[in-house]
Amino acid sequence: MFYMPARVFSGNDAIKDHAEALTSLGRRALIVMGGGSARKNGSFFDVVEVLENADVEFECFEGIKENPTVESVMEARDFGLENGCDFVIGIGGGSAMDAAKAISLMMKHSDETWEYLYDKEAPSDMLPLAEIPTTCGTGSEATAVSVLTRTELNTKKSSVHKLFPTVSFVDGKYLKTAPKSILNNTAMDALAHMVEGSIHRKATEYTRMCAAHGLELWKSCKPILLGEKVPEDEDLQKMMDVSTMAGMTIAQTGTTIPHGLSYPITIGCGIPHGKCVSYFQAEFIRAMEKEDRDWILSRAGFSDPDELNDFFVKVCNPEKIPSEFRERAYEELKSNPSKLSAVPYEITNEILKRISGI
């Protein structure tokens, strides 16, 4: 089965051209954002214009930080309820969009505590939700995943609920003001999603269809990541569409070892998520069966895992990860059977150590 129920509108002025898809969600929106990037790139003002033209009221909850915490979700939930909001709009990168998903769930279940996010037996119904990505890696606009920081565990954990957006608007022009480091780090995250999602026990011809075309588009954008080409509008739209296709891929499968290793390192070392995941991609691909390895590398435009790793070093300038954090990530992953069992080939302890870099 391929299930991705979010309506996705892609292209320049996607929000304005499909305004009714946003304004029909409710009468008072809670807009969830990070810092000032949504105002700088114009996405916030596009949303406000559409809402005001339809006489839809809104309140803003700003300040969602990278790797959003469960506590910030609950704070935003309370703010939304106090202001009578009946739907949620997430604007930003993965942090704002993942937080918006959890907020829409918790607003629907207004009497529950944060533990509801991790209650497998609880209903997953949520308020209507619109997602508007402004980076090109998370794919959260097309997934049911909400990854949150559990401060008591000092790591990141996905909510157990399937939280697909109602509608998403994918517009490449919001990348124009993004710093080069964010473009590069998030584009590497999109690559990781396609790698891990296509070589997965749950992968099907349909998920590989999304990943295969996404990888080809991703390959065409490599000169931009390397700084060899100034991106044009059509390039930025491609980068945004790649992220959504990658999201569609992992919405059906999930991620595996590189993502599992990245979570405690991202929190412990403060390394951006897309960069952190990419530390482990080359060795993960090297461990694959040759047919799978060649399928990935040829579409992404690399001759071997070493060339991919060289590319990662050039575009992300990775810092050294202290050995104790690599050890911790390895130990945590060893006790995470869901990530390990998702890989469609044997992962011995020796292989896992090599991927972990210990």
Task: Write out pLDDT tens, residues 119-165.
Answer: 999 999 999 999 999 999 999 999 999 999 998 888 888 999 999 99
Average pLDDT over residues 323-338: 93
CATH code: domain of residue 335: 1.20.1090.10
- Is 164 within a domain? yes
- What is the overall mean pLDDT for the chain? 96
Domain end, chosen from 174, 202, 225, is at 174
Q: Do the Cβ atoms of 145 and 158 come closer than 8 Å?
A: yes
Query: What pLDDT is attached to residue 152?
Result: 86
Task: Write out pLDDT tens, residues 9-42.
Answer: 999 999 999 999 999 999 999 999 998 999 999 9
- Is 138 within a domain? yes
- Same domain (yes/no): 158, 123: yes
- Same domain (yes/no): 230, 344: yes
Task: Write out pLDDT tens, residues 257-315.
Answer: 999 999 999 999 999 999 999 999 999 999 999 999 999 999 999 999 999 999 999 99
- Same domain (yes/no): 159, 42: yes
- Same domain (yes/no): 149, 192: no
Tell me: pLDDT of 5 over 90.
yes
Tell me: pLDDT of 336 over 90.
no
Tell me how far apart the alpha carbons of residues 177 and 237 are, in angstroms, rounded to a whole number: 14
Task: Write out pLDDT tens, residues 32-88.
Answer: 999 899 999 999 999 999 999 999 999 999 999 989 999 999 999 999 999 999 999
Query: What pLDDT is attached to residue 280?
Result: 98
Q: How many CA atoms lie within 13 A of 153 on its CB side?
A: 15
CATH code: domain of residue 86: 3.40.50.1970
Local structure of residue 69 (DSSP, 8 states): B
Range of the structural domain that residue 187 is part of: 180-356
Residue 124 three-state SS: coil
Instruction: Give residue for tokens 């992953």.
Output: 333
Q: Do the Cβ atoms of 257 and 343 come closer than 8 Å?
A: yes
Number of domains forming the structure of the chain: 2
Query: What pLDDT is attached to residue 155?
Result: 82
Tell me how far apart the alpha carbons of residues 246 and 72 are, in angstroms, rounded to a whole number: 27
Tell me how far apart the alpha carbons of residues 264 and 131 are, in angstroms, rounded to a whole number: 26
Q: Which two tokens stand for residue 61?
A: 């909850």
- Same domain (yes/no): 99, 188: no
Query: What pLDDT is attached to residue 338?
Result: 85
- Same domain (yes/no): 201, 120: no
Whole-structure pTM value = 0.95
